[in-house]
Structure 1
Amino acid sequence: MVERSILRSDTPWGEIYGAHRSALISYAERIAGNRAEAEDVVQDAWLHLRQALDRDKLRDPVPYLYRIVRNLAIDGRRKAGRQARHVADEAVADLAEIADDAPSPDVVVSAQVELRCVERALASLPERQRIAIEMYRLGDFKLREIAERLNISISLAHLLIVKGLAECHRLCRPDDLEGDGR
């Protein structure tokens, strides 16, 4: 905490403080980049000046005070830069730890193998059954729409789809897919 005697206006140092405080804050603000930091710098500079006065006699404390303000403001600016870089580095490290939403290569290969198997299984089905499954699964058609398009009953459209999907599942069992690089 700052001793009040150094800031009192009835002391020579208090008069210097009163006469130069605004200019010192403006000077520090230009270097530090913000007013709050500049006010802290000027306060710290007065503490440094007090320590210097205890050790030495200063003939002209004002230039010395400006030098202290400059040095403290530069140090504060450098410290803020280091902290900002540290925060940025931590953010990058945090981002690097976030899981990638992309599937792993083995999942991609497995899906490709399964897709080729389903394509072969569909190609092996009778045309009307293949069309019914494609309309239902890929085109989001309703059973009624499939039946109308294929000129069959709704129950037959349902039966074609169920039996066709069962055949696709039978042809593409996971144990049948292993080692299938085609």
Structure 2
Amino acid sequence: MSGVRPPRHRPGTLLGVPLPVVLAALVISGLLGVQLAGALQESTAGSGRSEAASVDSVDGAGKNSAGLPVVTETTLGTEVQRLVDSGSIQPLTTFDAPGCLQRLGVHDSILIMEEVAWGGDETPSWLLVHGPTDRETLQAAGGIISATVVLPGCGETTFGADAPATEDLIWSGDVMIGSL
């Protein structure tokens, strides 16, 4: 028995990589995956809730204390898309939307309008969605539609009709929306 050594125990290998290294890599990958899944869940959970709340509830995220949607330049497209999809129309009450657009030099017909709060200071405003097409065609085919945000004074039927409407203009431009 001299000179013969007993066989030494070697850890197994997987494709030439020692098994302890493979196991460590799997454990680290699993922990990293769990951490990334948690971060993804946290980052998307808030946006899903606020979108659902702004459409479904009066006092949800995206609405002010009076229940009006708070709209900014970055959320305007989403709000116009929601209005076209829902097809909701508010009564004109004392706001003369066609007269306001006419005073602004716009000759499109009003498709949808909504009372909103504009920007971080939540300025009371009206969002007017207008264009040369009708709402049903827009819902079916999508396309580019005009949106104008104005102060309530632009469409007052009893007061301030002689003042230039451009003083009441907050934002005006085109919005691309998709079909239903």
Bin for the TM-score computed over the shorter chain: 0.3 to 0.5
More helix by share: 1
Higher relative contact order (CA 8 A, sep 6+): 2
More strand by share: 2
TM-score after normalising by structure 2:
0.33
Q: Which has the larger radius of gyration?
A: 1
